[in-house]
């Protein structure tokens, strides 16, 4: 099957061809015809399977087939993402595939000034890509009207729930027309995702191109047992001996990411950290330098890594295993993308054996353990408890407030930061996010 058989228009096919794509991925084959038919969708797909194009292409066609009246400036499609990086990635996809269509788009997220965004919205946009926090800031300042949205897309819905966005999502839904098309995309499914789908979607078509919560077959997974104090030494050894040119490394906390970046620098390995406490400019520069090869190692927290889309990223390393098993699937999904093969290594100390068992239980397979002789763990070292801090407050996910406009709270928390629309509160919110 080729893209020409999916019912896409000539301008879209031309843009696809310019990107060098000939054959749609499984998620694209299934999702595009359904979305073109204006049906709601609940889609589960591993990262790197082409799901962004799977919803971007038919969205662009549906909007271009039914153009707005001349002079209308209403937002017609809303795409919600959990992080800035993912918003930027989706926004780039919309621009790339829609380059030959008379549609406008904009990206809004926190961590940058709100004023240019206000100016863009006043000019009018067809497609808006946004993180929930900054979106509601605009609603509160009355710079955004969502009452004419024809299509809502929730991308990485599982991560939005993990980050505590459920209350914000409910607020957004209350602002949208009842009659609309809704699409929910999630790399993993859970009972919470099913509950959200029941409330959000109308007779959705279920699209699932892989077993739930499974890791990609394109990724080779290895565990290297090592003492906790020798992890950095082992990581440097692997990078140097393997002559790795590009490796994405995950830590559990923002502080850990900063510390590891400094240590790698002392080992003569160029590295940069990316997490929620970094300014948007620093995050953008770090990612650009990593893609260009001027930075060899990108050290990231889980939330900051959403949206890192590099087709041929060869190596992912779990310097520390995540507390939430599903995050492991997301992490290693950064490699083995777009049909390429990748390698995911986890440096596991005695403290993390229970986390490893939970991951293996989730993915329903054991991960090969390879002991590197010179880093053989000391059996006399006893396990120490891993401090379980609340998400966002501890920096576990790299997506707390800190000017990002991205919220991060425990999934089980019923608390919600109050939001009023008084002038003083809006001003404070703008300073926090802008």
pLDDT tens digits for range 242-281: 999 999 999 999 999 999 999 999 999 999 998 878 887 8
Do 368 and 276 lie in a common domain?
yes
Same domain, 184 and 236: no
Instruction: Kindly state whether residues 336 and 236 are assigned to the same domain.
Output: yes
Task: Write out pLDDT tens, residues 386-415.
Answer: 865 434 333 333 333 333 334 433 333 323
Residue 429 in any domain: the answer is no
Distance of CA 178 to the CA centre of its chain: 27
Give a yes or no: residue 48 inside a domain: yes
CA distance 286 to 295: 8
Q: H/E/C letters for each residue in 29-69?
A: HHHHHHHHCCCCEEEECCCCCCHHHHHHHHHHHHHHHCCCC
Q: Please tell me whether residues 298 and 202 are part of one structural domain.
A: no
| Residue 133 sits in the same domain as residue 102 | yes
Domain that holds residue 364: 219-375
187 domain residue, yes or no: yes
**Nearest 5°: phi and psi at 200?**
-100, -40
Q: Read off the CATH number of the domain in which 233 is found.
A: 3.40.50.300
Alpha helices in 141-279 (DSSP H): 157-162, 166-175, 191-200, 231-241, 254-266
Predicted model pTM:
0.64
Last residue of a domain, one of 166, 185, 208: 208
Within this chain, do residues 60 and 117 fall inside the same structural domain, yes or no?
yes
Q: Is residue 404 part of a domain?
A: no
Is residue 426 situated within a structural domain?
no
- Number of Cβ within 10 Å of residue 84's Cβ equals 28
Last residue of a domain, one of 208, 233, 248: 208
Do 244 and 350 reside in the same domain of the chain?
A: yes
Q: How far apart are the first and last CA of the chain?
A: 46
- Same domain flag for 174 and 107: yes
Structural domain includes residue 122: yes
In a domain, 64, yes or no: yes
Domain assignment of residue 383, yes or no: no
Distance of alpha carbon 360 from its chain centroid, rounded?
Answer: 23
Are residues 228 and 274 both part of a single domain?
Answer: yes
pLDDT mean across residues, the chain: 83
* Residue that finishes a domain, picked among 354, 375, 396: 375
Same domain assignment for residues 134 and 269: no
Those residues with Cβ within 8 angstroms of residue 204's Cβ, 6 or more apart along the chain or in another chain: 39, 40, 41, 42, 182, 184, 197
Distances in Å between the alpha carbon of 428 and those of 137, 138, 269, 391, 393?
A: 10, 13, 40, 23, 19
Residue 220, number of CB atoms within 10 A of its CB = 14
Q: Are residues 142 and 279 in the same domain?
A: no
pLDDT in tens, 277-319: 888 788 888 888 988 889 999 999 876 556 566 667 889 999 9
List alpha helices for 299-404, DSSP H: 302-305, 325-332, 353-363
Confidence of residue 340 (pLDDT cuts 50, 70, 90): low
Summarize pLDDT for 240-253 with one digit per residue, the tens: 999 999 999 999 99
- Give Cβ neighbours of residue 72 (< 8 Å, ≥ 6 apart): 124
Number of compact structural domains in the chain: 2
Q: Let me know whether 242 and 290 are in one domain.
A: yes
């Amino acid at each position: 099957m080729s893209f020409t058989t999916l019912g896409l228009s000539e301008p879209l096919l031309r843009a696809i061809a310019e990107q060098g794509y000939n054959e749609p991925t499984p998620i694209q084959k299934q999702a595009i015809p359904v979305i073109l038919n204006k049906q709601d969708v609940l889609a589960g797909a591993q990262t790197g399977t082409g799901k962004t194009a799977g919803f971007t292409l038919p969205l662009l066609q549906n909007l271009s087939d039914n153009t707005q009246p001349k002079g209308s400036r209403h937002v017609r499609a809303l795409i919600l993402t959990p992080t800035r990086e993912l918003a930027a990635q989706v926004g780039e996809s919309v621009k790339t595939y829609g380059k030959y269509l008379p549609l406008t788009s904009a990206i809004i997220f926190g961590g940058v000034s709100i004023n240019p965004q206000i100016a863009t919205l006043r000019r009018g946009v067809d497609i808006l890509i946004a993180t929930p926090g900054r979106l509601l800031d605009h609603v509160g300042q009355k710079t955004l009207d969502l009452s004419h949205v024809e299509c809502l897309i929730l991308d990485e819905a599982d991560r939005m729930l993990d980050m505590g966005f459920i209350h914000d999502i409910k607020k957004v839904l209350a602002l949208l027309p009842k009659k609309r098309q809704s699409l929910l995309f999630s790399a993993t499914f859970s009972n919470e995702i099913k509950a959200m789908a029941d409330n959000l979607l109308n007779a959705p078509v279920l699209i699932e191109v892989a077993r739930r919560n499974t890791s990609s077959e394109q990724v080779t997974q290895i565990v290297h047992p090592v003492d906790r104090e020798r992890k950095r030494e082992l990581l440097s050894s692997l990078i140097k001996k393997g002559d790795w040119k590009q490796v994405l490394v995950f830590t559990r906390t923002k502080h850990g990411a900063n510390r590891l970046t400094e240590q790698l620098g002392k080992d003569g390995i160029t590295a940069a950290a990316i997490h929620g406490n970094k300014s948007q400019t620093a995050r953008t520069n770090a990612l650009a330098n990593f893609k260009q090869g001027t930075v060899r190692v990108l050290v990231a927290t889980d939330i900051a890594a959403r949206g890192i889309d590099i087709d041929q990223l060869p190596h992912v390393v779990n310097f520390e295993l995540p507390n939430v098993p599903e995050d492991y699937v997301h992490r290693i999904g950064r490699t083995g993308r777009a049909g390429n093969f990748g390698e995911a290594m986890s440096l596991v100390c005695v403290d993390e054996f229970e986390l490893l068992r939970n991951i293996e239980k989730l993915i329903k397979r054991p991960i090969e353990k390879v002991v590197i002789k010179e880093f053989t763990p000391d059996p006399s070292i006893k396990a120490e408890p891993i401090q379980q801090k609340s998400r966002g407050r501890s920096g576990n996910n790299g997506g707390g407030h800190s000017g990002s406009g991205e919220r991060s709270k425990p999934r089980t928390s019923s608390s919600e930061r109050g939001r009023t629309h008084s002038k003083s509160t809006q001003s404070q919110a703008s300073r926090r996010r802008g």
